[in-house]
Each structure stands twice: as structure tokens, then as C-alpha cells.
Copies of this chain bind each other. A is one copy, B any other.
Amino acid sequence: MHLTSHTDYALRVLLYLRLREDGKSTIQEIADAYGISKNHLMKVVQRLAGLGYVDASRGRGGGLLLAKLPEEINLGRLVEEMEPHLDLVECFDMKTNTCPIAPVCDLKGVLGEAQQSFLGTLLGYTLADLGTRPQRLRKILKMPKAGG
């Protein structure tokens, strides 16, 4: 039971940008701040751009900006969109299911309900609920001061 690093990285990027609303941030800068691979992070950012969460501008002086208000970025929605699939067990994908009792299995319903609880909790939060300790976060992330 785990989320992919893509999903977590996406959230890290958004959190970073939320604390940095005053100016653009480059992928390199964010990768350095979290100590992760720039190449890897580029894929995540492309995805976020495609989903409309960030605006990316190329060329010298380019970088990333949040494309929405933090209050508009729902964590549950983001997780649903970033995760490659939400197939808790094989029968959740009827196309590849091999379990013979799927049509009449109560467990399937119970697991589905549990997953909805999970996502439902996340749907109750937005990016605006994160970063409640901005000073400490900015310090850990070695974030440039406003205007820098």
C-alpha cells in the first residue's frame, strides 16, 4: 500500500510553489531543495502542467508558477489524477480481472468503500491547508527570500 513517488513529488512541487508565490522557480531549484533527481522531477512537472496545475515558461528567466489558487488545488483530486491507477485489487479493473467470484464478491464492495473513505478524506483538503509553518519550511528548503 503506497503512492508512487510521482504523486508525492507533485505535491512537493506544489507546496514549494505555494511558498514561493512571489516569483518563478526552476525545476533545478526544486530538485535541489528536496535532494531529488532533476530528470525525474521534469516528468512530474510536465504532468502537472498538462493537468493545468502549473504554468511553465521556457527560456532564460523561465520557470514555474502555480496556475491556480492554493484553495483551488484539491489534494484528493490531485492524487486521483497523478496515480497511474487506483486498482486496489485485481477485480477493480474488469478488463484484466481473473478472479472468478468478482460478480458476486462482497469484499469488492467493502474495499471500494474503504478506498472512497481514503480519497474522501483527501478531498477535504487543499494546498492552502499545507505549509502551516512557512518559515521553517522555507529554511529547510533553502528557499530564496521574496523577490530573489
A residues whose Cβ falls under 8 Å from a Cβ of B: 1-3, 5, 8, 11-12, 15, 33-35, 75, 83, 85-90, 98-101, 104-107, 110-111, 113-115, 117-122, 125, 129-133, 136-137, 140-141
Closest CB of chain B to A76's CB: distance in Å? 8
Q: Describe A's contact surface by its main secondary structure.
A: helix
Q: List the B side residues contacting A125 at CB < 8 Å.
A: 110
Identify the closest chain B residue to A130 (Cβ): B106
In-complex Cβ contact of A100 among B1, B88, B107, B140 (8 A): B140
Q: List the B side residues contacting A136 at CB < 8 Å.
A: 104
Pair A129/B110 contact, Cβ less than 8 Å: yes
Q: List the B side residues contacting A89 at CB < 8 Å.
A: 2-3, 8
A114 CA / B22 CA spacing, docked (Å): 31
Closest CB of chain B to A31's CB: distance in Å? 12
Contacts A110-B122, A130-B110 given; does A88 touch B3 at CB 8 Å: yes
Identify the closest chain B residue to A112 (Cβ): B121
A87 CA / B3 CA spacing, docked (Å): 9
Q: List the B side residues contacting A2 at CB < 8 Å.
A: 1, 85, 87-89
Pair A120/B122 contact, Cβ less than 8 Å: no
Contacts A75-B110, A137-B104 given; does A121 touch B131 at CB 8 Å: no
List 9 A-B pairs, Cβ < 8 Å. A3-B89, A8-B99, A34-B99, A75-B110, A100-B140, A106-B129, A107-B130, A110-B121, A110-B122
